[in-house]
Structure 1
Amino acid sequence: MSSTQQQVDHGVTIEAGLETVFELVADVARWPQFHLSAVHAEVLHTNEKGDLIQYWSLVGDSAVRTWRTVRRTDRPGGRITFAYVEADPPATEIRGEWVFTELAQDRTRVELRHHVSAPAGADLRPLLDRIDQDAKEHLDTLRDAAQRRAELDELVLSFTDPLFVAGSIEDAYDYLYRADLWPERIPHVVGLAMTEEVPNVQFFDMDTKGPDGSTHTVRSVRICLPPNLIVYKQISLPALLDAHTGHWRFTQTPEGVIAEARHTSTLKPSALSLLGAGTTVGGARRYLRRLLSANSMSNLRLAKAFAEERADDLP
């Protein structure tokens, strides 16, 4: 059967060092914090063929697509290659590469290339248009994150709060998975409308009450990977933030479960005055850490109580 080949090339010059730029691409777990459509990415396993990575990405604000690639990273050669495990129809193969070239000490050229194969006569226009748009958005995000690295190091707040649960991992997970029940279970959640059209992919609009009595509405997407992980990303954000991602992770131990809440938030510099005139980034970080930690620890304690009430009594 005859086939057709298409190549889609994009490039950008970034005012940042090669190692900084390379690392931002290689560390796929960080993409959701800086790239608008990225929800979650994780390395499933690594062997001599490379890294098997699964990605989840937003389509609009109410759907998620997921795919897997095999990636090989060549740091000395300044290259990252990838190939889709299953190509999106009508393509029969999608592969590509990131190529990094140092132009000067703090100037890097990045090329992103996609190679698409399909049966002769296949209409590749919708797929190529999507690849074109995604590539442009990724490169724009990469340039912004790399060139603002020093500023973002100050604006991004990331922390994890753990709690031991003397109960089953399934019960602890289920309490936080059932977000549709949060308004009746969690005091600071006053309303929540959730959809789960695809199993374990949740979208919800949540109304929460702040310490001052004010109500805030945010829209989030969650990827649920039972019974160990629930990853979330806020799609619509509080006025103070440019990004907010995180997870609930559940780790089995011989004695019970370690449940943890993780938050990664990017402060919006122009909104600091919402916390009062003269508020500094440091002051906003302290405020945000107190607020987010208080809420998530409250949720973890409720999940702990739920799971421990259902735990079998010790002999």
Structure 2
Amino acid sequence: MPDNHQKTESRVTVDVARDTAFDLVADVGRWPQYHPSAVHAEVLHTNEKGDLIQYWSLVSDSEVRTWQAVRRADRPGHRITLTQMDAESPATGIRAEWVFNELAPDRTEVELRHHIEGPAEADLGPLLEQITKDSREQLETLRDTTSRLTELGELVVSFTDPLFIAGSIEDAYDYLYRADLWPERIPHVVGLTMSEEVPNIQFFDMDTKGPDGSTHTVRSVRVCLPPKLIVYKQISLPAMLNAHTGHWKFTEVPEGVVAEARHTSTIKPSALSLLGAGTTIGHARRFLRRLLSGNSMSNLTLAKAFAEERAGF
């Protein structure tokens, strides 16, 4: 039985209502847009024990760690607990707890606690230090996000574009999964170097050509969940963005497949002048939507042609 117990606690005060802070932490789908290391999270299933969630997180700009945790969200008790399914060695158990304490109607203290168990002889120090570091970074992300909620409402551009494909889901998925072939297949991609050392976890550096002929290089990580979803996050960004995440989603319908491109981008206010003097956030939103939607619809159209040709259309 484990008899080595360690714990760590970190806290931050945020100027929002307790329910607002609770909702921001509970909405794991939003974290990749705001937290630098978060790549993807999804609820696998829900039952009376809670939500089983799988997380993917950057360890470095070339490595992703994934794990599952059972989450219990107790809104009346103002706390969220997460118990890891397979604790990282040398720990045998890791439990996290978010606690939300109301200081005033629009002021909340948020605590993030971790309880770690392991064998008596285990050195849990390095793991404890890493968890403490990660906790402080998560709380700083929460503090920054809550301090800019109104501003982010203007700066974040999020949309989806669907396209019907009269072909198989496997062919539609494969066309966009094979990013290593994009320089041959997609006109605005002029170069791409990709690695996939862990199956279905891709890192690539991509050179794209803009409408004005200029080229831009970005580094991205992708979590591929065949044949229904490819999630991506840019980890080096174009000059005018503070964040860019999205997905390619594939849904079978009786007639074929609906493929969907999603983009969520956060505009960098200090870079508005790159689009010309006097550029407003509204101008930048329209520019981004036109550019990103144009590129993704072009990619979907090419995937459609590929899948439908293979289907005999």
Whether 1:172 and 2:169 are equivalent positions in the alignment is no
Aligned to 2:51: 51
Q: Following TM superposition, by how much is the alpha carbon of 1:2 offset from its aligned partner in structure 2, in angstroms?
A: 5.4
The CA distance in 2 between the partners of 1:190 and 1:312, in whole Å, is: 30
Q: Which amino acid aligns with 2:257?
A: V
User: Deviations 1:220-246 (Å, cap 9, x if unpaired)?
Assistant: 000000000000000000000000000
**Secondary structure in 2 matching 1:21:** helix
Q: Which deviations, in whole Å up to 9, do the C-alpha atoms of 1:224-271 show, x marking residues without a partner?
A: 000000000000000000000000000000100000000000000000
Q: Distance in 2 between matches of 1:123 and 1:30?
A: 34
Write out per-residue CA displacement over residues 31-86 of structure 1, whole angstroms, 9 at most, x where no aligned residue: 00000000000000000000000000001100000000000001121110110011
Give the Cα–Cα distance (whole angstroms) in 1 for the partners of residues 195 and 27 of structure 2: 30
**Letter of the structure 2 residue corresponding to residue 289 of structure 1:** R
Q: Does the CA-based 8 Å contact 2:42-2:53 persist in structure 1?
A: yes
Aligned counterparts of 1:157 and 1:112: Cα–Cα separation in 2? 30
* TM-score where L is the length of structure 1: 0.98
Aligned to 2:28: 28
SS at match of 2:36: coil
- 2:132 alignment partner in structure 1: 132
Whole-Å separation in 2 of the counterparts to 1:23 and 1:161: 27
Q: Which runs of 5+ in 2 are unaligned?
A: none
Task: State the partner residue of 1:295.
Answer: 295
Q: For 1:207, what is the secondary structure of its paired residue?
A: strand
Is the alpha carbon distance of 1:128 and 1:286 closer, same or farther for their aligned partners in structure 2, counting shifts above 3 Å?
A: same
What residue in structure 2 maps to residue 246 of structure 1?
Answer: 246
Residue 146 of structure 1: aligned partner: 146
Distance 1:65 1:128 in 2: 17
Query: What is aligned with 1:272?
Result: 272
* Corresponding position: 1:117 with 2:117: yes
TM (norm. structure 2) is 0.99
* CA distance in 1 between partners of 2:179 and 2:130 (Å): 32
Letter in 1 for 2:222: R
Q: Return the letter of the residue paired with 2:234.
A: Q
Distance 1:200 1:188 in 2: 24
Partners of 1:7 and 1:69 lie apart in 2 by 18
Partner of 2:63: 63
- 2: CA distance between counterparts of 1:2 and 1:289? 53
Task: Note the 1:1-20 alignment, pairs <5 A.
Answer: 1=1, 3-20=3-20
8 A contact 2:242–2:266 mirrored in 1: yes
Give the distance between the partners of 2:273 and 2:33, measured in 1 at CA: 23
Give the structure 2 partner of residue 38 of structure 1.
38
User: Aligned-pair distance for 1:18?
Assistant: 1.2
Q: Could you say which residue in structure 2 is the equivalent of 1:163?
A: 163
Q: What letter is aligned with 1:288?
A: L
Structure 1 distance, partners of 2:190, 2:119, is 53
Query: Does residue 208 of the first structure (1) align with residue 213 of the second (2)?
Result: no
1:10-48 Cα offsets, whole Å, 9 max, x none, are 111111111211111000000000000000000000000
Secondary structure of the corresponding residue to residue 150 of structure 1: helix
CA distance in 1, matches of 2:136, 2:251: 38
Deviation at 1:125, TM superposition (A): 1.6
CA–CA distance in structure 2, aligned partners of residues 16 and 264 of structure 1: 24
Note the 1:77-88 alignment, pairs <5 A. 77-88=77-88
2:90 aligns to what?
90
Equivalent position SS for 1:33:
helix
What SS is found at the alignment partner of 2:99?
A: strand
Cα separation, 1, equivalents of 2:11 and 2:2: 30
Q: Distance in 2 between matches of 1:229 and 1:128?
A: 34
How far the C-alpha of 1:130 sits from its partner, in A, is 1.1
Number of positions where the alignment pairs a residue of Structure 1 with one of Structure 2:
313
Q: Give ranges in structure 1 of 5+ residues lacking alignment.
A: none
Distance 2:171 2:242 in 1: 33
Letter of the structure 2 residue corresponding to residue 299 of structure 1: N
In structure 2, C-alpha distance between the alignment counterparts of 1:130 and 1:7, rounded to whole Å: 12
Q: Which runs of 4 or more aligned residues in structure 1 lie more than 4 Å from their structure 2 counterparts after TM superposition?
A: none
Aligned counterparts of 2:48 and 2:19: Cα–Cα separation in 1: 24
1:312 offset after TM fit, Å?
Answer: 4.3
Secondary structure of 1:51's counterpart equals strand
**1:126 Cα deviation from its structure 2 partner:** 1.7
| Cα distance between partner residues in 2 of 1:101 and 1:247 | 35
SS at match of 1:223: strand
The percent identity for this pair of structures is: 75
